[in-house]
Structure 1
Amino acid sequence: MINKIKLRDIIIGSALVALVGCASGPTDSDTDLILKNRGAEGLYEDAKEKMKLGNFNAASEVLSALDSRFPFGPLSHQVQLDLIYSYYKTGKTQESLATIDRFVRLNPNHSDVDYAMYMRGLTNMEVDNNIFQELVGIDRSDRDPSNSREAFNDFRRLIEKYPNSKYAADAQKRMLFIKSRLAKYEIAIARFYMRREAYVAAANRGRYVIENYFDTNHVQEALEIMVECYDQLDLDELKNNAMKTLKLNYPNSSFIS
């Protein structure tokens, strides 16, 4: 009898432990619960409300789940476009770029493909921004501008393919800003070379700015660098040509005496 009672207690105890284990185990996330209880339209309305409130992180979770569960539904295209924006707003640049590339690849004739291309440029620009450095006033124009170049190409492709897009004008302005950023990078590298007396490399950087970023406000600096470098290299003809151009366009330059 005693053994039977003990066996019964063990069985009951094991069952209780199992129940407690189930109760204390992993639970569904809020997004999972919502997905189980609401359809695509209800979920999308929920995501839009989150976006309206500025809660883009929560919105991206719902939109991502929607995109996974209903990839070919009537809302799929708008879900992907909103997901792109939500990723962008939360700094999830890789996710944003991947979603953009997928959308453009699968929907080349969609009416909003120009928006997706525009967002690609914005996303790449955002990668190149360093908010902390801007806040503390640190000039890091010498940092790698590869994402700025990528953004420039994104905006260029948008303008070439959709010149009448409502995003084309802003894309053009951003291209000018990026060119200034790229020119400033070349100037920073040229000055780096000058400090190390690598005057040929520095002069070449200055000439690159003249040839490729002539519509930025860094042309004067580029010409001054070229004058100084050619002077150090005793290349009088090249120095005089650069000085002539400097005098003609920037007569107030301190290099003119």
Structure 2
Amino acid sequence: MTNAKSVGMRKTARLALVSLVLSGAAMGMTACQSDKDVDITKLGFESESPEMLYNQGLANMKAGNLLEAARKFDAIDRQNPFTEWGRKALVMSTFTKYRLGRNDDAVAAGNRYLNQYPSSQDSAYVQYLVGLAYSKQIADVTQDQKAATNTISAMSKVVNDYPNSEYVEDAQTKIRFARDQLAGKEMQIGRYYLERKEYLAAIQRFRTVVETYSNTNQVEESLARLTEAYFAMGIVEEAQTAAAVLGRNYPDSQWYADSYKLLKGSGVEPRENKGSWISRAASKIVGA
């Protein structure tokens, strides 16, 4: 009797436990079903087909809702990688992120696209978007110019790898601007050394502008600064050459007028020494 009673009690206990578990599960399911705030899209999942998501993304773009558009394209990219819809969505994801000002994200998405689809029909456009995203990050010349260097690299790929694309002309414009920024950075540092009378260090910076960035807007001033620095060091012949090259290329420049006045005040005039590095570099200067 005792054993039978004990077995019965254990069965009753198990049934009670099972009932409690099932009751809790049912309550949980009921709570989920009645909770109107549950949204699976917040979990990063979209239930629609990739085609529908893509069209929704385009519709949101047309309505000016770029954040929602980006979310739709990202969902396709995440849920349907390495498919045609995934490829197209990655292009649009790069574009929307660029338009939103999320330039680092645009660069990351664009580079991922180019790694996966290097020869696709949209590769030129995506490479151009990467260049645009870098160019938007170019800072004042007083700051680091890494973005300018990256812009030149990205846009040079547009020019060299896709020479027949419609993006080449603007890519070249962006390259010129970025190069002018890099030259401007050299000028800023050079002027700093010049003010401190560290003439050799200053000359090296101005020389870089003349030799490396000869087609930028900074060359004119760099030649005038070379005249000033060489003259201050007593290397008059190089100062005369810098002024002569400046006068030949920019005869109406105020920089040339100032350089001429500096030399004339000491009884000398601009005169080019054909053996000088300045004279050799002058052949690269626009207008030379």
Give the TM bin, normalised by the shorter chain.
0.7 to 0.9
Cα gap change, 1:224 to 1:21, in 2 (>3 Å): farther
Q: 115-124 vs 184-193, which deviates more?
A: 184-193
Tell me if the contact between 1:31 and 1:61 (Cα under 8 Å) persists in the aligned partners.
no
Deviation at 1:74, TM superposition (A): 2.9
The alignment partner of 1:128 has SS state of coil
In structure 1, what is the equivalent of residue 15 of structure 2?
A: none
The alignment partner of 1:91 has SS state of coil
Tell me if the contact between 2:199 and 2:229 (Cα under 8 Å) persists in the aligned partners.
yes
* Larger CA Rg, structure 1 vs 2: 2
In structure 1, what is the equivalent of residue 193 of structure 2?
A: 193
Which runs of 5 or more residues in structure 1 are unaligned? 1-10, 130-139
Which of 85, 96, 101 aligns to 1:91? It is 101
Show the 5 A alignment for 1:104-123: 104-123=114-133
Deviation at 1:164, TM superposition (A): 0.7
Q: 243-252 vs 147-156, which deviates more?
A: 243-252
**In structure 1, how many angstroms separate the alpha carbons of the residues matched to 2:229 and 2:198?**
9
Show the 5 A alignment for 1:10-29: 27-28=38-39
Deviation at 1:72, TM superposition (A): 2.8
Cα gap change, 1:24 to 1:184, in 2 (>3 Å): same
Tell me if the contact between 1:125 and 1:147 (Cα under 8 Å) persists in the aligned partners.
yes
Deviation at 1:250, TM superposition (A): 2.4
Deviation at 1:233, TM superposition (A): 1.7
In structure 2, what is the equivalent of residue 255 of structure 1?
A: 259
1:166 aligned to 2:180? Answer: no
Tell me if the contact between 2:76 and 2:85 (Cα under 8 Å) persists in the aligned partners.
no
Cα gap change, 1:251 to 1:193, in 2 (>3 Å): same
Deviation at 1:93, TM superposition (A): 2.1
In structure 1, what is the equivalent of residue 70 of structure 2?
A: 60
Number of aligned residue pairs: give it: 234
Deviation at 1:18, TM superposition (A): 6.5
Which of 27, 43, 60 aligns to 1:50? It is 60
Q: 211-220 vs 118-127, which deviates more?
A: 211-220
Deviation at 1:21, TM superposition (A): 7.7
TM-score calculated relative to the size of structure 1: 0.82
Deviation at 1:30, TM superposition (A): 4.8
